[in-house]
Amino acid sequence: MGVILMVQKVKFNLTIEAELVSAEKISHEEVVFGEIDFIPLVKNWKTYLSKKVLCMPAAHDLHVHFREPGFEHKETIQSGSLAALYGGCTTVLDMPNTNPPTITVKEYLRKKEIGKNEIVNLLVAAGIADNNLSEIKSLASVADCWKVYLDNSFNAVPCTIETLNDACSILENEENNKPIFIHAMQTTEGTEGKQTIDEENAGIELALNLAKEFGNLNFHITHLSNVSALEKIIQKKYHNVTHDTCPRYFMKKTAKEQLQRCNPPIRSLEEQAKLKKSVYDGEIFMLTTDHAPHTLVEKEEGAPGCPGVQEMFPQMINWSFEHEGIDKRKIVKMVHENPKRLMGRKEETEDYVIIAPQEDYQINHEWIKSKCDWSLYQSEIWQGKIIGIISQKC
């Protein structure tokens, strides 16, 4: 099991020589932060700060499943938050398919209470379900955003198209334009982790039809796994539709096939290469992880879902150092700027991640902080070690 470590903060005046990256530019300069709260994530952090470092805004992962309440043997808000922090991510959005599900004001506030003192900012999505239409108005006043499952996923809260239309009408009347995250699949029970591209695209067509009908609402189609889905979204050019994909759908993985089972599935190597090019070319609005931890025993039994909140940002940094690697400015746009924009949080004070650009490290049990204690990228060696966080939260 990943070791739960105490996170400490150090308050001091920080001046560093850095490659400073934003979504607009990369500069090399002396950066003066003044008095800050610094969270060291390695033992010899002072040595690294005396050298030139890479400084990037912290990531936001707007699709995680921290499993609490109900499935704490897989993950908790505390262990998931620690994994996020060690991955350079200081804001997460937790999904509603817990037990009980987050589909009432009571359960929404309960989850927010659990996470209020954690080391990252915990946003919470309220579920839209067949049995909570009477709660939608009340939830609209507190929820950070919404989540809809159009198929059977792990402990998903069922929602028919009729219910979703009714909920959208309520939200439109309430002038609530918080994003509606859509798990866009059209499948049947027993096919989790096996859905075809056609089934995924059918769900996306449905989501796009909703966006056309309810033009005052904002729809976000999450975890795209194929390029034809992306092309459908780009072609429509709807002002109220955004999207994301996850690194598992386009980056090389070392885990055996059984551990890679997820919903929607990881597609062919050819499809992964096409999606990776779309990410490289800047066609992807946002990256998330759909961090969905299960124990190894559960994975062997067929549970769909993979961890990823700790891996996303470090993996993108590593890619940026490869030959013809991705532009770091595009990384910031996908994991920081666009997530903040989507959630209406653009004016918040920035958190920053400090990275030792030449430092290599291995994805192993010592590195992994998720309670599930495994990774799709086990034993890989990555470049660009995160050494600490300048945080406004902690």
What is the residue type of 81? S
Backbone dihedral angles phi then psi of residue 95, each to the nearest 5 degrees:
-90, 160
pTM recorded for the entire structure: 0.95
Cβ proximity of 88 and 386 under 8 Å: yes
DSSP string, 359-389: EEEE-STTT--STT---TTTT-EEEEEEEEE
For the chain, which residues make up each domain, given as ranges?
Answer: 58-353
CA-angle at 135, arms to 222 and 343, nearest 5°: 35
| Cα 158 to Cα 70: distance, rounded to the nearest angstrom | 18
DSSP state of 158: B
Cβ proximity of 387 and 53 under 8 Å: yes
Residue 143 DSSP SS3: coil
Cβ proximity of 204 and 228 under 8 Å: no
Residue 36 DSSP SS3: strand
Half-sphere exposure of residue 27, counting CA atoms within 13 Å on the CB side?
8
Cβ proximity of 269 and 249 under 8 Å: no
DSSP string, 304-352: --B--TTTHHHHHHHHHHSTTPPPHHHHHIIIIIHHHHHTT-TTSPPPE
| Cα 252 to Cα 321: distance, rounded to the nearest angstrom | 16
* Per-residue burial over 38-69, b = 16 or more CB atoms within 10 Å of its CB, e = otherwise: bbbbbeebeebbeeebbbbbbbbbbbbbbbbb
From the list 370, 378, 307, the residue with the least C-alpha distance to 2 is: 370
DSSP state of 257: G
pLDDT in single tens digits along all 394 residues of the chain:
344 456 788 998 999 999 999 999 999 999 998 889 999 999 999 999 999 999 999 999 999 999 999 999 999 999 999 999 999 999 999 999 999 999 999 999 999 999 998 999 999 999 999 999 999 999 999 999 999 998 766 556 889 999 999 999 999 999 999 999 999 887 655 555 578 999 999 999 999 999 999 999 999 999 999 999 999 999 999 999 999 999 999 999 999 999 999 999 999 999 999 999 999 999 999 999 999 999 999 999 999 999 999 999 999 999 999 999 999 999 999 999 999 999 998 767 789 999 999 999 999 999 999 999 999 999 999 999 999 999 875 4
Looking at domain 58-353, which CATH architecture does it have?
Answer: Alpha-Beta Barrel (3.20)
Question: What tens digit of pLDDT does each residue of 65-101 get?
Answer: 999 999 999 999 999 999 999 999 999 999 999 999 9
| Cα 323 to Cα 383: distance, rounded to the nearest angstrom | 12
Contacts of 183-188 with C-beta under 8 Å, sequence gap 24+, read 183/147, 183/148, 183/149, 183/150, 183/151, 183/153, 183/156, 183/222, 183/223, 184/150, 184/221, 184/222, 185/150, 185/151, 185/153, 185/263, 185/264, 186/150, 186/151, 187/151, 187/152, 188/151, 188/152
Question: What tens digit of pLDDT does each residue of 296-336 get?
Answer: 999 999 999 999 999 999 999 999 999 999 999 999 999 99
| Cα 346 to Cα 287: distance, rounded to the nearest angstrom | 17
